[in-house]
């Protein structure tokens, strides 16, 4: 199931798309079915959740196709062919995407996505596709500098363990996949395309979850005088302070870590700097 950021713009996009695909279903019933697909009992419950979250850090929800179909059926709509909700959640037209897909080498599009992630204050996660394989990259660089300590505060070694666990779990059909990872930045390469989307969802969910859990006040020195807008300091990828942090990667004299089920050789480098995954 694909992940969706619960924003008003994303829900409006879903409703417009669903009304176009299901003209025989009334708007209120579509709203109720969509709420069920997003794990809420009613449309009112979903609206309350959005209101409590606020616009700055919306929560995420897995899009449940079966729950959507069941709620429609309960409301008296038995539709032979339903639109694929995962496709809507991963559409390039979705207003508030949590990650994006690009062709390998499309630097202008990557730069634009970097700018959007920085504007929204979310981790920089993206998928690049080649002729046979795909790659997932992530970086904390687009998060407000006031929150640079979040991966460490969250227990970076534990966060990294969860990231590695997610990589393994979502690379079941990509036996040649390799990765280089820290809690701040990393990549998974040689993925089959069908695995890359699930990888991006899982990694974004872990990083964003750590950020949402922090929810601490922004330090005064990081707040501009124009009413609280943030002025991020200049940073380069991988420039986060990671003293004492763990990083999983390959030994320099050895090929990168394979994700094959028998290979459990990781290198724990407690004082390594988070590498730029794009170098």
Going by pLDDT thresholds of 50, 70 and 90, the confidence category of residue 155 is low
Percent of the chain with pLDDT over 90: 60
- For the chain, give every domain's residue range: 3-89, 100-268
> Distance from CA of residue 58 to its chain's centroid?
12
Query: How far apart (Å, rounded) are the C-alpha atoms in residues 203 and 209?
Result: 10
pLDDT at 23: 93
Measured CA to CA in angstroms, residue 227 lies from 86, 223, 224 at distances of: 39, 8, 7
- 14 vs 181: CA distance, rounded Å: 34
pLDDT in tens, 76-103: 998 888 999 999 999 999 999 999 999 9
The C-alpha atoms of residue 175 and residue 192 are separated, in whole angstroms, by 9
Per-residue confidence (pLDDT) for residue 189, from 0 to 100: 95
Q: What is the pLDDT of residue 156?
A: 61
128-144 pLDDT, tens digit per residue, is 998 889 999 999 999 98
Give pLDDT tens digits for 252-278: 222 334 444 333 333 332 333 333 333
- pTM to 2 decimals? 0.77
Q: Give the pLDDT confidence score for residue 215 in this predicted structure.
A: 67
């Amino acid at each position: 199931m694909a992940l969706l950021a619960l924003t008003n713009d994303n829900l409006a996009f879903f409703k417009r798309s669903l009304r176009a695909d299901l003209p025989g279903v009334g708007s209120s019933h579509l709203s109720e079915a969509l709420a069920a697909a997003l794990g809420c009992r009613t449309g009112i419950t979903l609206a309350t959740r959005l209101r409590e979250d606020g616009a700055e850090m919306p929560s995420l929800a897995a899009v449940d196709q079966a729950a959507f179909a069941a709620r429609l059926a309960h409301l008296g709509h038995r539709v032979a062919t339903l639109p694929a909700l995962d496709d809507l959640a991963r559409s390039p037209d979705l207003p508030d995407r949590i990650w994006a897909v690009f062709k390998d080498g499309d630097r202008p599009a990557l730069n634009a996505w970097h700018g959007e992630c920085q504007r929204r204050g979310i981790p920089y996660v993206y998928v690049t596709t080649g002729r046979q394989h795909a790659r997932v990259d992530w970086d904390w660089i687009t998060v407000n500098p006031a929150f640079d300590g979040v991966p460490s505060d969250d227990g970076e070694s534990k966060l990294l363990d969860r990231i590695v666990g997610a990589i393994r779990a979502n690379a079941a059909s990509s036996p040649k996949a390799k990765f280089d990872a820290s809690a701040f930045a990393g990549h998974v390469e040689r993925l089959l395309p069908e695995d890359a989307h699930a990888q991006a969802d899982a990694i974004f969910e872990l990083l964003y979850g750590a950020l949402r859990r922090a929810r601490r006040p922004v330090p005064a020195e990081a707040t501009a005088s124009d009413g609280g807008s943030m002025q991020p300091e200049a940073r380069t990828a991988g420039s986060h302070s990671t003293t004492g942090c763990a990083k999983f990667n390959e030994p320099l004299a050895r090929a990168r870590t394979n994700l094959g089920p028998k290979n459990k050789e990781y290198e724990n480098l407690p004082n390594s700097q988070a590498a730029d995954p794009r170098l």
